[in-house]
Amino acid sequence: MLVLGRSQVEALLDVDTLIDGLASAMTDLSAGRASSPDRVAALVPERDGFLAAMPGSVPSAGVLMSKLVSVFPHNAGTPLPTHQALIVVFDPETGEPVALLDGTAITAARTAACSALSARLLAREDASVLAVLGTGAQARSHAEAMCRVRPIRHIRVAGRNETKAAALAEELTAALRLPVEAAPTYAQALDGADIAAATTHATDPVIRRAWLTPGVHVTSVGFNPAGREIDDATIAEALVCVETRQAALAPFPAGSSDLLNPIRDGVITEAHVHAELGELLNGSKPGRSSHDQITLYKSVGVAAQDAAAAALVVAAAREQSIGSEVRLG
C-alpha cells in the first residue's frame, strides 16, 4: 500500500489540473456516472464535533475511495485544523486497498478548487476584486485558487480576529504577489467585491445582501449546523448552484443549513436551487443571465471531489516514485 503524508500530498497536487479533474467528476456525478452517497457521522457533542465517512467512486477517473474526516470547530485558534482527514484508495477492479493518503490537504485543495470551478462558470469574466471571509486553511486555499480562474488584481481579507486577518493578508501578498489588505469588517471586505469566498464557522451570516455589490459571485463552504454563512435575502435573490441537490438538501450531517433553514421557513422552495455544477458544465442549465445578477455556489463537500483529487495525487506519486510502500498482510 502506498502511503503519502501531508507535505507529499501538497507537493503532488496541481491546482489547475485539479480544477479540470473536478469539472469531469461533477459532470459525471450529475449524469449518474459517479457514486457519492450522503456522508454519515458519529457525533461528539461535548466538543461540537463529529467524525464523518464519505465513500465515493468516479469510474472515469479509475478511482474508488473513502474519506474519514473529523470536524472539530473548537480547534480554531489552535495549532490543529478544524478539519482533519484520511483517505483510503481501493483498486476499483478488486477492492484491494492500494493507498493511504493524508486527507486534510486534499480537503482544503479540492474545496477551494471546486469554488474556483464555480467562479469559472458563474463569475463575470472581468472579476478582479476578491473578498475572502475567514482566516484559516480554506481562506488561504480559496485566495490561491480564485486567482487561477479570474484576473484577480486586489484581495481583501476579513475575519473575527483582525491580527489573524492581517497575518494572512501579509502571507498572501508575498505568495500571490498581489495587493492583499486586511479589512476591519466583513462588510468592508465585501464592498465592491466581484467574488466573495466565505470560509468561516460563522453562527451569524457573514454574507448579507446589503453588503453585496451587484453582479458578485459568492462561494460559501462554511459548515456549521448551528449557524449560517449567508442571510435569507441573499439566498432568495441569488442564482443558487450546488454540487448536487441530493447532498445540499439532505439532513445533517450532509446538507446545508444555509439552504435548509430558508426552505423550512418558507423563504424559498427546493426548486429555488437552480443547478448543479455538472448541469452548468454539460449545458443543460444556463449560468449567469446578466451583468448585475448575484450568483451563489453553496458547497457542502461531496466524496466525488475527494475521489478526483485522490486519483490525481496517487497517479502523480506513482509517476514520480514518491511515498512509502507498506504491507498490511
pLDDT tens digits for range 290-318: 999 999 999 999 999 999 999 999 999 99
Which residues have CB under 8 Å from 283's CB, separation 6+? none
DSSP assignment, residue 60?
Answer: G
Contact 93, 63 (CB under 8 A): no
Nearest Cα to Cα of residue 276 among 288, 267, 264, 285: 285
Contact 195, 212 (CB under 8 A): no
Nearest Cα to Cα of residue 271 among 295, 245, 243: 245
What letters, b where the CB count within 10 A reaches 16 and e where it falls short, cover 119-134? bbbbbbeebebbbbbb
3-class DSSP state of 180? strand
What letters, b where the CB count within 10 A reaches 16 and e where it falls short, cover 210-241? ebbeebbbbbbbbbbeebbbbbbbbbeebbbb
**Section 8-22 average pLDDT:** 97
Distance (Å, whole) CA 92 – CA 181: 46
Q: How confident is the model at residue 52 (pLDDT cuts 50, 70, 90)?
A: very high
Q: At what angle do helices 104-122 and 303-320 cross, to 10 degrees?
A: 110
Predicted confidence at residue 225, as pLDDT, reads 78
101: pLDDT strictly greater than 90: yes
Domain boundaries, the chain: 2-107+304-325, 122-301
Predicted confidence at residue 33, as pLDDT, reads 97
Residue 274 sits at the vertex; the CA angle it makes with 268 and 275, to the nearest 5 degrees, is: 140
pLDDT tens digits for range 179-188: 999 999 999 9
Domain 2-107+304-325: which CATH number of 3.30.1780.10, 3.10.129.10, 1.10.357.140, 3.40.50.300: 3.30.1780.10
Q: How confident is the model at residue 199 (pLDDT cuts 50, 70, 90)?
A: very high
Copy the grid coordinates of residue 323: 511515498
Q: How confident is the model at residue 82 (pLDDT cuts 50, 70, 90)?
A: confident
Predicted confidence at residue 226, as pLDDT, reads 80
Q: Which fold has domain 122-301?
A: Rossmann fold (3.40.50)
Q: What is the dihedral of CA 84, 247, 42, 305, to 10 degrees?
A: -30
3-class DSSP state of 241? strand
Residue 72 sits at the vertex; the CA angle it makes with 118 and 137, to the nearest 5 degrees, is: 45
Which of 26-35, 79-88, 231-240 is the least confident region?
79-88
121: pLDDT strictly greater than 80: yes
Predicted confidence at residue 223, as pLDDT, reads 82
**Section 89-105 average pLDDT:** 97
User: Hunting for cell 450546488 — which residue is that?
Assistant: 242
* pTM: predicted TM-score of the whole model, two decimal places: 0.96
Q: How confident is the model at residue 76 (pLDDT cuts 50, 70, 90)?
A: confident
Burial of 282 (0-12, 13-18, 19+ CB in 10 A): middle
**Section 276-302 average pLDDT:** 98
Predicted confidence at residue 175, as pLDDT, reads 96
Written as one string, the DSSP assignment of 10-52 is HHH--HHHHHHHHHHHHHHHHHT-SB-PPPEEEEEGGGTEEEE
Nearest Cα to Cα of residue 125 among 8, 262, 307, 288: 288
3-class DSSP state of 209? helix
**Section 88-117 average pLDDT:** 97
Average pLDDT, the chain: 96
Half-sphere exposure of 190 (CA within 13 A, CB side): 25
